[in-house]
Structure 1
Amino acid sequence: MVDNQSFQLSVEELPHQTQEYLETLFAVGNGQIGVRAGHPLKVNQLYDGNPGVFVNGFFDSEPIQYGEWAYGYAKNHQTICKLPNLRGIVLRIGHECSSDSEWQTERTEMNLDMGAGILTETYHVITPSNKQFDLSLSSFASMKRRELYVCRYTIAHCTFSDPVALSHTLDQSFSLIETDDPRVANKHHQLEKEVRGEYQIWTAPHSGKQIALRADLGPHQLTDGASIASIFQVALVDDNQANFFQNQRVDYATLVKEQEESYQAFWEKSDIHISGNAQLQKGIRFNLFHLNQGAGRDGKTNFAAKGLTGEGYEGHYFWDTEMYLLPFFIYTNPEVAKQLLSYRGNILPQAHARAKELGQSGALFAWRTIDGNETSAYYPAGTAQLHINADIVYGFQLYERVTGDQELIDGIGKDVVFETAKFWLNYGTYTRKQGQDYFGVHGVTGPDEYSALVNNNFYTNKMVQNNFYYAAELAERYGMYPEERNKWLAAADAMYFGFDEERQITQQDDSFLDQAVWPFEETPAENYPLLLHYHPMIIYKHQVCKQADTVLAEMLFTGDFSFAQLKRDYDYYEKVTTHDSSLSRSIFSVMASRIGDTGKAYRYFMDTALMDLTDLQKNVVDGIHAANMGGSWLSLIYGFAGLYYDQGLRMANHLPKEIGTLSFTLSYLGESIKVTLAQNDIFCELQTDSLLVVEEMDAGIRIKQR
């Protein structure tokens, strides 16, 4: 069990104390179940907050209502269902009941032990008749037994002798949070409940998705100093499942021990140690903690944009997984990375159907989804972000390169790569520019959602080119698609990349640099993010980036560009980027490191490491920013440590002066590598009898096979 203070997050350390903000930050989960840290007595409207429980993959759906419909639009919404506050309890002392009248509660302790994955809280409670006592909670979502959520309640320091009756009610009612923010779910789904003996089946009425829930709801009689542990079993119901629950019930002490062991194993592989700034140290561990507890691990679910901590983005999975989250798992927990990628393989049939619906060959993965079907109602910032196809392929490619595991590629991996390459060859087109035939991709939206439906988005074209090359590599390896392979190689070699000769700047797309620059000096601070204050047409006609686009492509393929080009592009695009997306700052941090501006890299990293703890984006109440948390890892490892795959692992020391040392562990080709950066030095410790070797290079080191 880790007892270092930097693994402890206490409520007193935080800049805000609103209930909803704390519910998100102190949420606990395990990739299957996520539980917001709601008020323990909130089972109705008497107490503040927005508590709830989320089960990964459990959603309801309903038809999307369009004022004007067009062929191929997404048909149905999908919204993750928020379940009742499982940790919520009803207390009775004599004739007084906590759900009939409001009892005074004062939070005296709230501490998240990130080293063990356990949340502890204490509340001083006063009833209307002035009976007083302390209510303590210790809760966690089991990492070993993923269908279990555990909460132990203790009653102490009573000023009365009567027993306290503690019970749970699953018939809870809360008002819907009303918001105009399009990023937040604003739908209520009335679940159908059926009692079957000792468990219940809850059904989402439109999607037909079901979960099974089993718990001892009480009541339990507690006297001063007594405790009771409530163990909830929650599982998605599979059509072919004979037994809903896979685990036998065990005692509380065993569950705690298992939890501590699971987190000890996680931190041994994943921890990052930073010297010189205690706040940053805690911030990065907080981010890694939430990455661990948000990832689906069954090959059927993925990582929602807000994890399992809130309604933001309706529980949907995006490209965030492959581009911002997957690198962390590939390099530290490859078994989790494999399951996240397996999810993409499992939804390949839906991707085939979507491509067919659009009249294209191959497969087109949904921009935002839970079950694999497209749910984005606004196609310019949804389906048009075709780059998700190539993002997913990049994830498979990076996984194979770093882990050496070809089994995944032998199976579903190669099919995903081939089918997306087929799509690109059909969707893209050859055009003649400057007297030469080029292959381009038109009518798409890149990562910058403030520039929609453009031709030859640089990021998209670069990723498609990589998709083609990897497909050709696999086609040769497996002796498949010989004719298509030649076409894929030809299209990749002919890929168009716009360049402004006068300014010596890489063009984000064919028209971006021709547009007027957004009037930044005239835009008040309260008008950001722009998407909440300006019509899309006003945004689209300007040079303004919501997030890293060209700069992201150059982070992924740094070796394809000169240092001078990287710096020119960085300097230009930074000036027109608002960072309205939480996905942006980490990429600018990485690239600032790579162009030698360590001071700027550090400032951007400060934002990524502490984004949710400081509520930088002003919407933590809706859930964590998972992609930014993955981005904070990128800022450290891809940025400060310069990690870049190039026929092995290349690293360079870009450590800013504010950080004394940076230590972390990488997994490469099945071996563990311990890395420490100090000012101007990189130290690598390989396993005994390692099959790897460390080479000194002019700008750092390379780790490769002997």
Structure 2
Amino acid sequence: MKTYTLTLDDLGNIETQNVETIFAQANGFMGVRASLPIQANDSLPGTFINGFYETHPIIYGENAYGYAKNHETMVKCFDLRTLELSVNGEVLSVLTERNLKLNLMTGILSETYLYETNLGQQIKLELESFTSHFNRTTYAQKIKITALNFSGEVHVKKEAKLLLPNSSKDFDPRVREASVNLQKQGNQYTTANSKLSLYTKFDEIDETFQLNPTQSFEFEQLNQISKENQFEIVSYERLKVEQVKIFDTFWSVSDIEIDGDETLQKGVRVNLYHLFNSAGRDGKTNFGAKGLTGEGYEGHYFWDTEMYLLPFFTHTQPEIAKSLLTYRLNILPQAKQRAKELGFAGALYAWRTQSGHETSAYYPAGTAQVHINADIAYALELYEKVTGDSAFIQSAKEIIYETARFWLSYGFMSQRGFEIHEVTGPDEYTALVNNNYYTNKMAQNNLRYAVRLAHTFKENQEEATFWQTAADKMYFGYDETSKITKQDDSFLDKQVWDFAHTPKENYPLLLHYHPMKIYKHQVLKQADTILAHMLFAEEKAQVARDFDFYEPLTTHDSSLSRAIHGVVASRLGRTQQAYDFFADSATMDLSDMQGNASHGIHAANMGGTWLGLIYGFAGLHIDNGELKIENHLPKQIKALRFNILYQGKLQSFELKNEKN
């Protein structure tokens, strides 16, 4: 089917580096960008290994106690795709045609390139490749070289090449050079500072052969990378057969069918494909903001996983969800250490990290986003509700207790109630405020979940009393005059950003204005109070007033924003607005809406696409232990079909648009 196949025609912007991101392949351990097979200046090859990073000291002009100490940058290790090709001694360098076809059903990429020499001798280069989900250490390629219009000597050389540092001078705080000088000893590669090691087993070819017109030369390569010096003997065809089986199982549960819009159907499947590919599976790694497709955000793990990605995995691939949550359990010691370092009780999870240690150099938009604690607690609670896996929750309950202890330590009781000051909510254009609504709402939920677990497991009873009191007395700001929920204590008192005189090219604001300029205004980067309304049921009229107030102030500079607004618009019955937000979310990377697809996929937005469909259009929610749906389909969608795993049983749903 067309909607299970991605080609260049599906991309609104076909810059080479964007193509390399969108057609990238990954398997949770390894990711390989779909770079050009013959070296070119506009190509950005890269192989990323989940959790393989180098550290560098963060240099502050003015340091202070408790600042993050080190960068952790995922390494862009090897070029596994480039080959050298010459005809009668003349190097091929002129690309005249390229076609890519990614089979989303199997994770197998097929490519065709036409190259020619200055003398007009033409070669057709055909590639088939995949990152194996059966043997995650392996990137498999089959390559076919065909002479089109000449007879002569063809030389091919293909070997894995270590990528060396080549820093870009472009200013963008979201990107950092990811190539490093790895130390090589035999088949072992080690980072200089973090002391992490990889082992390799690479196939190489260096051969000359004679070809006549239409004759071909074909070979296979199995390039293997592992964190341990052990490699299984594998064959290309066996790996391919198993790849098809694994993807078939994935789609049988996770596919979503949309009738009425082929473009959005394909966008949804591309997004689900990348979600499946980049999720860590070993409990020691997680899901980077750009997956394993690019070097944006240094490969760091954020709250994106818990709030935007885990709903999809929890409802369709619970074993992957469990692995991602296990990572949080495994880095709990680092979170406890961080809270202690800052002078608080319990645990404070790092805002951006791989090792578990905080790496965010700008604390107002990093460490101050303490809501990550409650985000993780929310994700664990959702996992318990959906899967019924009480054994895992019992093993992970210390996360809930320790984060509850943090809230009691970080907040305080006043005449107004339990307040939490000096925080940054999801809206990163508003920093270091008091009583951010989202943070307080999530902290309240975190505390109540801790109380419930304490009663269930008959422990921490004395602490649970204090947790219950803090939750019950949590303070939420509200403006009685305008009947608007306060994003924080000061937001409504600020001057509105001058949107009318802000040039289009000055978005995103963070690249064109100093934080002090942004922070003093009413302007949002993304959903904040509206995200809280998506997660917790509120009076519909109140949600509508808040939506009408906050959405016009929102730039949607963050890729995380549109999907959330779409879900809430659906629930408000604003189906056209919901559809517009969803359409943007579904095709964000295909159209390069954010202008930075070359840095890697927008993984959280891809999870947001699932939220838009399932939480929004289908209105999925849990009511008294039962799955319920509400039909909010917009007129553009005739029918919606999807599956949900609930309490270990697969349930299938179909919604039809009665208005059509």
TM-score range, shorter chain: over 0.9
Show the 5 A alignment for 1:532-611. Answer: 532-558=511-537, 561-611=538-588
- The answer for the alignment partner of 2:22 in structure 1 is 25
Q: CA offset at residue 406 of structure 1?
A: 1.0
Q: Secondary structure of 1:162's partner? A: strand
Q: Which moves more between the two structures, 118-127 or 652-661?
A: 118-127
Match of 2:354 among 367, 370, 383: 370
User: 2:644 is aligned with what amino acid?
Assistant: L
- The answer for the alignment partner of 2:622 in structure 1 is 645
> 2:77·2:162 contact (CA, 8 Å) conserved in 1?
no
Q: Secondary structure of 1:136's partner? A: strand
What is the rounded CA distance, in whole Å, between the counterparts of 1:352 and 1:340 in structure 2?
19
Match of 1:127 among 94, 99, 117: 117
Show the 5 A alignment for 1:24-173. Answer: 24-42=21-39, 46-97=40-91, 103-158=93-148, 159-173=150-164
- The answer for the alignment partner of 1:424 in structure 2 is 407
Q: Deviations over 1:463-490 (max 9, x none)?
A: 0000000000000111110100000001
User: 1:23 is aligned with what amino acid?
Assistant: E
> 2:365·2:428 contact (CA, 8 Å) conserved in 1?
yes
Match of 1:496 among 466, 475, 490: 475
Q: Deviations over 1:489-528 (max 9, x none)?
A: 0100000011100011110001101111111111111111
Q: Deviations over 1:97-128 (max 9, x none)?
A: 55xxxx21223321111111011111112134
Q: Secondary structure of 1:180's partner? A: coil
Q: CA offset at residue 341 of structure 1?
A: 0.3
Show the 5 A alignment for 1:355-394. Answer: 355-394=339-378
Q: Deviations over 1:143-188 (max 9, x none)?
A: 1111111111101134224243332142555733322110111354
> 1:39·1:48 contact (CA, 8 Å) conserved in 2?
no
Q: Deviations over 1:349-389 (max 9, x none)?
A: 10011011011111110000011000000000000000000
What is the rounded CA distance, in whole Å, between the counterparts of 2:223 and 2:507 in structure 1?
42
Q: Which moves more between the two structures, 316-325 or 566-575?
A: 566-575
- The answer for the alignment partner of 1:701 in structure 2 is none
Contiguous gaps of at least 5 residues in structure 1: 238-242, 682-706
Q: Deviations over 1:33-59 (max 9, x none)?
A: 1111111122xxx54311111110000
Show the 5 A alignment for 1:16-415. Answer: 16-42=13-39, 46-97=40-91, 103-158=93-148, 159-173=150-164, 175-186=166-177, 188-195=179-186, 200-221=187-208, 224-237=215-228, 243-245=229-231, 248-411=232-395, 413-415=396-398
Q: Which moves more between the two structures, 658-667 or 46-55?
A: 46-55
User: 2:619 is aligned with what amino acid?
Assistant: G
Q: CA offset at residue 93 of structure 1?
A: 4.2
**TM, length-normalised to structure 1:** 0.91
- The answer for the alignment partner of 1:516 in structure 2 is 495
The number of aligned residues is 653
What is the rounded CA distance, in whole Å, between the counterparts of 2:379 and 2:162 in structure 1?
42
Contiguous gaps of at least 5 residues in structure 2: none
What is the rounded CA distance, in whole Å, between the counterparts of 1:169 and 1:598 in structure 2?
50
| Gap change, CA 1:623 and 1:171, over 3 Å in 2 | closer
**TM, length-normalised to structure 2:** 0.97
> 2:166·2:177 contact (CA, 8 Å) conserved in 1?
no
What is the rounded CA distance, in whole Å, between the counterparts of 1:187 and 1:121 in structure 2?
26
User: 1:409 is aligned with what amino acid?
Assistant: I
Q: CA offset at residue 67 of structure 1?
A: 0.5
> 1:149·1:231 contact (CA, 8 Å) conserved in 2?
yes
Bigger RCO of structures 1 and 2 (CA < 8 A, at least 6 apart): 2
What is the rounded CA distance, in whole Å, between the counterparts of 2:113 and 2:655 in structure 1?
43
Q: CA offset at residue 94 of structure 1?
A: 4.6
> 1:39·1:47 contact (CA, 8 Å) conserved in 2?
no
What is the rounded CA distance, in whole Å, between the counterparts of 1:172 and 1:302 in structure 2?
24
What is the rounded CA distance, in whole Å, between the counterparts of 1:48 and 1:554 in structure 2?
43
What is the rounded CA distance, in whole Å, between the counterparts of 1:286 and 1:188 in structure 2?
28
- The answer for the alignment partner of 1:698 in structure 2 is none
Match of 2:459 among 477, 480, 491: 480
Q: Which moves more between the two structures, 14-23 or 602-611?
A: 14-23
Q: Deviations over 1:662-700 (max 9, x none)?
A: 00000000000000000249xxxxxxxxxxxxxxxxxxx
What is the rounded CA distance, in whole Å, between the counterparts of 1:562 and 1:127 in structure 2?
68
RMSD between aligned residues: 1.4
> 1:90·1:169 contact (CA, 8 Å) conserved in 2?
no
Q: Deviations over 1:390-441 (max 9, x none)?
A: 0001010000000011121111x201001101111111111113xxxx0011
What is the rounded CA distance, in whole Å, between the counterparts of 1:414 and 1:523 in structure 2?
48
Tell me if 1:654 matches 2:640.
no
> 1:131·1:160 contact (CA, 8 Å) conserved in 2?
no
Q: CA offset at residue 650 of structure 1?
A: 2.3
Q: CA offset at residue 194 of structure 1?
A: 1.5
> 1:193·1:203 contact (CA, 8 Å) conserved in 2?
yes
Q: Secondary structure of 1:345's partner? A: helix
Q: CA offset at residue 132 of structure 1?
A: 2.0
What is the rounded CA distance, in whole Å, between the counterparts of 2:473 and 2:263 in structure 1?
49
